[in-house]
């Protein structure tokens, strides 16, 4: 039976989502905070502050409609090369957000996770992250994963190094390295691959995000700047996803035979 959920947008457009065909895992590249601020004559940092509000909106809306995994790009390895003052401001926004949003996570039964080179983050953030991850670990409605100091190429290299060590120690034979084995060495171990990737701000690139995991993900690009991204925009992206045919290399006919 088709199980529809009907959402009304602010301009009264009706978005109808099929509850049986929701993406299990949504990945987001939250881009456009700086341009959002600049368009309003504000400092870039205020764009990041408003980006946190957008994340709260989208994470709670995702949990509410039944998304199991939401993985968001919050800070890339390359972002360390931004002006010192911006990096510092981003870190302080992050530590404040972790403190402030603990109750949002607990209220919504969301467990927090982090991927990336967490050890490179300031100690205060590492401590705060560990605390929030531990305190929300029972949240079984949705996993919210923050990609922090994250680079997909670094993730793949790290996995390769760990794998090589295991081979060297004799724990693993090279001929037994399958996709499944390799995935166990990635930060995203145990998580399903994203079904849908959303990138905001009108940029059409992946920017070193989840390169392995996105192999068969449906891509959705929104012109909206991240701080302006609403839950209706999220529903719109999911509605578009539900119109796609995920063929995984097969033909349309093959897929229809099996239904
Ligand atoms: C995304 O917004 C947030 C981070 C990369 C930390 P940007 O800061 O990249 O905003 P734009 O792309 O300059 O507008
Ligand atoms: C990607 O955005 C990283 C995050 C959203 C955290 P960037 O703004 O850093 O990406 P580029 O530089 O436009 O590719
Ligand atoms: Mg950007």
pLDDT in tens, 16-32: 999 999 999 999 999 99
The answer to whether residues 115 and 148 touch, using CB atoms and an 8 Å cutoff, is yes
Its pTM stands at: 0.96
**What is the band of 1 on the pLDDT scale with cuts at 50, 70, 90?**
very low
pLDDT in tens, 124-163: 999 999 999 999 999 999 999 999 999 999 999 999 999 9
- The 10 Å Cβ neighbour count of residue 34 is 21
pLDDT in tens, 188-234: 999 999 999 999 999 999 999 999 999 999 999 999 999 999 999 99
Q: Tell how far the Cα of 155 is from the centroid of ligand 2, in angstroms.
A: 17
Q: Tell how far the Cα of 109 is from the centroid of ligand 2, in angstroms.
A: 29
The pair of three-digit structure tokens given for residue 15, joined into one six-digit string = 């978005």
The answer to whether residues 142 and 67 touch, using CB atoms and an 8 Å cutoff, is yes
What residues are labeled active site?
Answer: 31, 79
State how far the Cα of 154 lies from the Cα of 12, in Å rounded to an integer.
44
Parse the chain into domains and list their residue ranges: 23-244
Q: Is the shortest distance between the CB of 207 and ligand 2 below 6 Å?
A: yes
Cite the DSSP H helix spans in 6-122.
33-39, 44-65, 84-100, 102-107
Mean pLDDT score, 36-47: 98
Q: At what angle do helices 44-65 and 231-243 cross, to 10 degrees?
A: 60
Q: Is the pLDDT of residue 186 over 80?
A: yes
Give the pLDDT score at 11.
67
Question: CA 13 → CA 16, 19, 220, 233, distances in Å?
Answer: 10, 19, 20, 11
The answer to whether residues 150 and 115 touch, using CB atoms and an 8 Å cutoff, is yes
Question: Thinking of the domain 23-244, which architecture would CATH place it in?
Answer: 3-Layer(aba) Sandwich (3.40)
Helix (H) or strand (E) holding 69: strand 69-76
Q: Is the shortest distance between the CB of 147 and ligand 2 below 6 Å?
A: no
Give the pLDDT score at 5.
79
The answer to whether residues 15 and 235 touch, using CB atoms and an 8 Å cutoff, is yes
């Amino acid at each position: 039976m088709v199980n529809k959920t009907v959402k009304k947008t602010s301009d009264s457009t009706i978005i109808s989502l099929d509850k049986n065909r929701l993406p299990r895992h949504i990945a987001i590249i939250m881009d456009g905070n700086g341009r959002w601020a600049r368009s309003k004559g504000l400092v870039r940092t205020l764009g990041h502050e408003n980006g946190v509000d957008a994340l709260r909106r989208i994470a709670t809306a995702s949990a509410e409609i039944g998304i199991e995994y939401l993985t968001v790009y919050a800070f890339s390895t390359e972002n360390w090369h931004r002006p010192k003052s911006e990096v510092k401001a981003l870190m302080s926004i992050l530590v404040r957000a972790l403190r402030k949003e603990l109750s949002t996570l607990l209220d919504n039964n969301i467990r927090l996770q982090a991927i990336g080179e967490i050890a490179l983050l300031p100690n205060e953030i590492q401590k705060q992250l560990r605390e929030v991850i531990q305190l929300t670990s029972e949240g079984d409605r949705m996993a919210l994963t923050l990609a922090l100091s994250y680079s997909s190429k670094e993730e793949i290299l790290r996995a390769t190094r760990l794998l090589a060590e295991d081979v060297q120690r004799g724990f693993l034979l090279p001929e037994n390295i399958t996709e499944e084995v390799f995935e166990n060495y990635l930060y995203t171990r145990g998580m399903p691959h994203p079904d849908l990737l959303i990138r905001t701000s009108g940029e059409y690139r992946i920017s070193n995000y989840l390169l392995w995991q996105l192999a068969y993900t449906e891509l959705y690009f929104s012109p909206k700047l991240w701080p302006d991204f609403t839950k209706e925009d999220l529903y719109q992206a999911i509605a578009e996803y539900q119109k796609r045919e995920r063929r995984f290399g097969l033909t349309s006919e093959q897929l229809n035979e099996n239904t």
